[in-house]
């Protein structure tokens, strides 16, 4: 088994990919700039939340504008998150995160100068592109440096950063808005200094692996997904207001969004570097966590965005007090994200936190749905605290569960997929719930005014954000009650959505977090002797005594003492691989130890001294794997993931009569065109191929009397994949070109076959024996043109399958 150096190289001076893991202090230094960037990203949205009622009122906007100031940022973040993630897999993550920060700074300055809601919404969209990069790259960068097991701890730190920015944002925004000599425009300017400091810090401290390969971005996919989401959100915002829900405009927008989504899926299935690799969704955990993130986003963003509007319009509080009153929500998020992160690092278990979080989010939203404008605040504090606890347990840990399932080259794409679905849910939730809120408020105001005998006007009817301080007392009471009741209604609508997220989480299969860093499975040792299916190295390598039976440990926590390593051998879905052979080899190719995995996949090996070694794992029905491990003075916990192999069964039949085709040549190639296996069909038209790694392959078939055919095939990992290929009948025309008085074979003669419509079907050049051949022809009339001497054209009628002989004689005039 030849081993090659990994593709990932460190930025700056060359670094050994087998270097020991970074210390806690080194990781914190590297993450300091990243956490500051995350702080800027979260601050940009939360600091505006308390100022939005004042902003929209000053710019003469309505509830629709209020919603779109939030939605525009979320939509841009949603559409660009997969693009940032894909770029992170292809190029420098450090350059990308710095670019996102610069984009954020420029957009923030533009938003602060806006003179109307249209310009503000446009700059908020650009701001969302930068925030999307910061949000996606934060998870990708952290995953590139830290093992999944340790990542829970640092996810807690990111969650704490999220909480601090979310707590400080509304408070700071309220203070800025209430300060006469500052005003709401400084809500956009205040994040700029933080972004500049983050840029400088990132430049000094962030050292990341970067992939040295050609960058090819799927811009078509990015445009299609953006267009599909945008059209859907425009429909949700305008339906029921500008036109009826059941109207031709609704049909056109929904249908157009569906068509764009289908085109996106088609493009992604054929793109060499897709924005969202569809093969990731063959992993059950990634599929379930993505859908769970979608519904968490709807509940989280849809619920929290309107809290400031509730406190200011339903309870008459100032922007500053509105920020203070949301502290229970943020406090719960801060506590749960930090505590769950530390607990996950300690135990390696994460599903229980997701389940509890789903229950708390559902309960918190349901309870908030019972509030009114005069509800006791301590009730609201408890409800918001429950919601915050649930969001903190789910938000970061859904990304963590996904990152634990993928290989290093897909880390950015997989992380951004989960963030994409969460942002998509947020954009849909804010847009849809904002539209519902506008209608509910208008209805409640109309009912309240009718009870007072007053005809409602635009200023209090919900189409324009009102200023409660300027309304007469009876009208103000009606407006406050309308907003209190209307915002409660949207929480009731969001609660079932959160319940769906809980149901998806329940079906996620828990896989213990890996303990090695993302790049470590790709070893960089010199070529080694190949190990067989039992993990045994040939006798050419000197061996030392090794354990021949199952180890006595039952789990990683029960590892023996001394210098060595232990862990589990599992499949990607977390299933244990029993009886797997694990062999430890020195960098010089000497076998040092061998272990057979227990039924639960556990193994343990001793090493003679601390240092770098190569670990080879092999098992029947699985693709062998080799990785470099660095063992220190303490025992190293190192899990191994093996990819299962499967089989392919091909049946070849005649398309005309359905009869099996015997003796057909079947060739299996991978996505790069490399031939993996060849064979011939038996009497029943069948050919079997074993030991194929799950993935996409091309099966090409050729048989005498038939036209060649090629089809793509998806091979699964559990059982042999069956596929059938039908061959269309085809004739073979062959002959010899002769020339001269002796009519000897003519080499290098050009023979062209033209169909009855004048199209060139095929061309050939004769060999030394003057022969040529045209296989796989349909029935019909053709013309054969031969040149080399004076050209000659002769008619040819092909009747069907079989071999037609057609010799050609060339001669000079007069011969």
DSSP line for 688-723:
EEEEEPSEEEEEEEE-TTB--EEEEEEE-SSS-EEE
pLDDT band at 15 (very low <50, low <70, confident <90, very high): very low
Is 489 or 586 the better-scoring residue by pLDDT?
A: 489
User: Residue 39: what pLDDT?
Assistant: 78
Is 384 or 715 the better-scoring residue by pLDDT?
A: 384
Mean pLDDT computed over every residue of the chain: 75
CATH topology of domain 731-810: Immunoglobulin-like (2.60.40)
804, β-bridge pairs: 733
User: Residue 4: what pLDDT?
Assistant: 33
Residue 386 pLDDT > 90: yes
Residue 741 pLDDT > 60: yes
| Token output for 178 | 């209430």
Q: How many separate helices (H) and strands (E) can be counted in the chain?
A: 18, 28
Q: What are phi and psi of 476, to 5 degrees?
A: -60, -40
Give CA torsion, residues 749, 754, 760, 765, to 10 deg.
Answer: -20
For the stretch 764-788, pLDDT in tens is: 888 888 888 888 777 788 888 888 6
User: Residue 531: what pLDDT?
Assistant: 41
CATH topology of domain 645-727: Immunoglobulin-like (2.60.40)
650, β-bridge pairs: 687, 723
Average confidence (pLDDT) over 260-267: 89
User: Residue 218: what pLDDT?
Assistant: 73
User: Residue 360: what pLDDT?
Assistant: 94
Residue 18 pLDDT > 60: no
User: Residue 600: what pLDDT?
Assistant: 82
Q: Residue ranges of the domains in the chain? A: 8-217+273-506, 218-272, 556-637, 645-727, 731-810
| CA gap 400, 172 in Å, rounded | 31
Residue 433 pLDDT > 90: no
Q: Are 152 and 400 in contact (CB under 8 A)?
A: yes
Q: Are 98 and 141 in contact (CB under 8 A)?
A: no
Is 25 or 175 the better-scoring residue by pLDDT?
A: 175
User: Residue 147: what pLDDT?
Assistant: 61
Closest CA to 133 of 346, 394, 423, 453: 423
Is 66 or 336 the better-scoring residue by pLDDT?
A: 336
Average confidence (pLDDT) over 17-26: 49
User: Residue 734: what pLDDT?
Assistant: 85
pLDDT > 70 in the chain, percent: 76
| CA gap 427, 410 in Å, rounded | 25
User: Residue 554: what pLDDT?
Assistant: 32
Q: At what angle do helices 219-238 and 63-90 cross, to 10 degrees?
A: 160
Residue 737 pLDDT > 80: yes
> What Rg, from alpha-carbon coordinates, does the chain have?
33
Is 698 or 237 the better-scoring residue by pLDDT?
A: 698
pLDDT band at 385 (very low <50, low <70, confident <90, very high): very high
One-character DSSP codes across 624-682? -EEEEEEE-SSPEE--EE-EE-EEEEEEEEETTT--B-TT-EEEEE-TT--EEEEEE--
First to last CA, the chain: 66
Is 98 or 742 the better-scoring residue by pLDDT?
A: 98
| CA gap 394, 390 in Å, rounded | 6
| CA gap 458, 465 in Å, rounded | 10
Same fold, 556-637 and 645-727: yes
CATH topology of domain 556-637: Immunoglobulin-like (2.60.40)
| Token output for 675 | 């031939």
For the stretch 191-210, pLDDT in tens is: 788 778 877 877 777 766 55
Residue 652 pLDDT > 70: yes
pLDDT > 90 in the chain, percent: 6
Closest CA to 305 of 503, 63, 36, 76: 63
Average confidence (pLDDT) over 99-124: 85
Whole-structure pTM value = 0.54
| Token output for 329 | 């929500």
For the stretch 221-261, pLDDT in tens is: 878 877 887 787 778 767 766 777 788 888 998 899 899 98
Using DSSP, state whether 612 is helix, strand or coil. strand
When mean pLDDT is compared across 609-613, 678-682, 785-789, the lowest value belongs to: 785-789
H/E element, 589: none
Q: Are 85 and 417 in contact (CB under 8 A)?
A: yes
The Cβ of residue 306 has, within 10 Å, a number of other Cβ atoms equal to 27
Cα–Cα distances (Å) from 498 to 362, 383, 676, 773, in that order, read: 5, 15, 47, 67
User: Residue 370: what pLDDT?
Assistant: 92
Q: How many residues does the chain have?
A: 815
**CATH superfamily entry for domain 8-217+273-506:** MFS general substrate transporter like domains (1.20.1250.20)
Residue 3 pLDDT > 60: no
Contacts of 256 (CB under 8 A, 6+ apart): 231
| Token output for 582 | 């694990």
The CA-based angle 121-186-70, given to 5 degrees, is 30
Is 132 or 529 the better-scoring residue by pLDDT?
A: 132
């Amino acid at each position: 088994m030849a081993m090659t150096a990994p593709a990932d190289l460190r930025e700056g001076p060359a670094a050994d990919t087998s270097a020991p893991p970074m210390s806690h202090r080194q990781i914190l230094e590297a993450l300091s700039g990243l956490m500051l960037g995350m702080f800027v990203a979260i601050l940009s949205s939360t600091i505006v939340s308390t100022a939005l009622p004042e902003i929209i009122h000053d710019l003469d906007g309505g509830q629709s504008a209020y919603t779109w100031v939030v939605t525009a940022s979320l939509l841009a973040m949603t559409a660009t998150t997969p693009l940032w993630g894909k770029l992170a897999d292809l190029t420098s993550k450090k350059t990308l995160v710095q670019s996102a920060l610069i984009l954020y700074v420029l957009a923030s300055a533009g938003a602060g100068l806006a003179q109307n809601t249209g310009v503000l919404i446009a700059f908020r969209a650009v701001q969302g592109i930068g925030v999307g990069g910061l949000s996606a790259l934060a998870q990708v960068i952290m995953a590139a440096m830290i093992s999944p097991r340790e990542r829970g701890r640092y996810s807690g730190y990111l969650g704490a950063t999220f909480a601090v920015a979310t707590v400080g944002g509304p408070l700071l925004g309220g203070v800025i808005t209430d300060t006469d000599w500052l005003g709401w425009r400084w809500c956009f300017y205040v994040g700029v200094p933080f972004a500049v400091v983050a840029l400088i810090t990132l430049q000094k401290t962030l050292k990341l692996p970067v992939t040295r390969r050609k960058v090819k971005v799927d811009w078509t996919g990015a445009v299609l997904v953006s267009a599909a989401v945008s059209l859907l959100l425009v429909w949700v915002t305008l339906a029921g207001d500008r036109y009826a829900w059941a109207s031709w405009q609704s049909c056109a927008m929904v249908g157009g969004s569906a068509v764009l989504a289908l085109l996106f899926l088609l493009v992604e299935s054929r793109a060499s570097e897709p924005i969202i690799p569809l093969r990731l969704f063959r992993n059950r955990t990634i599929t379930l966590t993505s859908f769970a993130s979608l519904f968490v986003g709807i509940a989280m963003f849809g619920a929290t965005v309107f809290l400031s509007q509730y406190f200011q319009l339903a309870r008459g509080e100032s922007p500053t007090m509105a920020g203070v009153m949301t502290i229970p929500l943020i406090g719960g998020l801060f506590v749960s994200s930090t505590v769950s992160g530390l607990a996950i690092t300690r135990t390696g278990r994460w599903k229980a936190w997701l389940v509890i979080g789903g229950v708390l989010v559902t309960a918190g939203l349901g309870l908030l749905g019972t509030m009114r404008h005069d509800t006791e605040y301590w009730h609201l504090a408890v409800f918001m605290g429950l919601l915050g606890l649930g969001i903190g347990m789910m938000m970061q840990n859904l990304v963590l569960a996904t990152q634990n399932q993928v290989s290093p080259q897909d880390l950015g794409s997989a992380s951004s997929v989960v963030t994409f679905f969460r942002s998509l849910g947020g954009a849909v939730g804010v847009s849809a719930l904002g539209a519902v809120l506008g209608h509910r408020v208008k209805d409640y105001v109309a009912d309240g005014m009718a009870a007072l005998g007053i005809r409602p006007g635009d200023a209090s009817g919900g189409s324009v954000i009102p200023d409660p301080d300027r309304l007469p007392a009876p009208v103000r009471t009606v407006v406050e009650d309308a907003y209190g009741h209307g915002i409660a209604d949207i929480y009731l609508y969001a609660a079932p959505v959160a319940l769906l997220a809980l149901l998806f989480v329940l079906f996620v299969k828990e896989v213990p977090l890996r303990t090695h860093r993302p790049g470590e499975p790709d070893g960089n040792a010199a070529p080694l002797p190949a190990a067989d299916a039992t993990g045994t190295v040939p006798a050419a390598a000197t061996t030392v005594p090794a354990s021949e039976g199952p180890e006595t440990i039952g789990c990683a926590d029960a590892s023996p003492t001394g210098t060595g390593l232990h862990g589990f051998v599992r499949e990607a879905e977390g299933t244990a691989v029993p009886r797997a052979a694990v062999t430890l080899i020195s960098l010089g190719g000497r076998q040092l130890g061998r272990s057979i995995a227990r039924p639960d996949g556990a193994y343990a090996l001793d090493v003679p001294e601390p240092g770098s070694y190569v670990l080879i794992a092999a098992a029947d029905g699985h693709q062998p794997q080799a990785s470099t491990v660095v063992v220190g003075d303490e025992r190293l916990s190192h899990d191994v993931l093996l990819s299962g192999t499967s089989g392919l069964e091909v049946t070849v039949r005649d398309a005309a009569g359905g009869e099996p085709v015997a003796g057909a040549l079947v060739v299996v190639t991978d996505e790069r065109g490399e031939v993996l296996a060849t064979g011939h069909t038996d009497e029943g038209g069948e050919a079997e191929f074993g030991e194929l790694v799950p993935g996409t392959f091309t099966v090409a078939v050729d048989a005498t009397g038939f036209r060649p055919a090629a089809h793509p095939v998806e091979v699964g990992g559990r059982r042999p994949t069956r596929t059938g290929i039908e061959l269309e009948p085809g004739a073979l025309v062959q002959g010899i070109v002769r020339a001269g008085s002796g009519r000897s074979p003519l080499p290098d003669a050009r023979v062209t076959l033209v169909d009855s419509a004048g199209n060139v079907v095929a061309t050939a050049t004769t060999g030394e024996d003057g022969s040529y051949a045209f296989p796989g022809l349909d029935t019909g009339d053709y013309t054969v043109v031969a040149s080399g001497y004076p050209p000659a054209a002769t008619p040819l009628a092909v009747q069907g399958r079989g071999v037609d002989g057609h010799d050609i004689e060339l001669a000079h005039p007069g011969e």
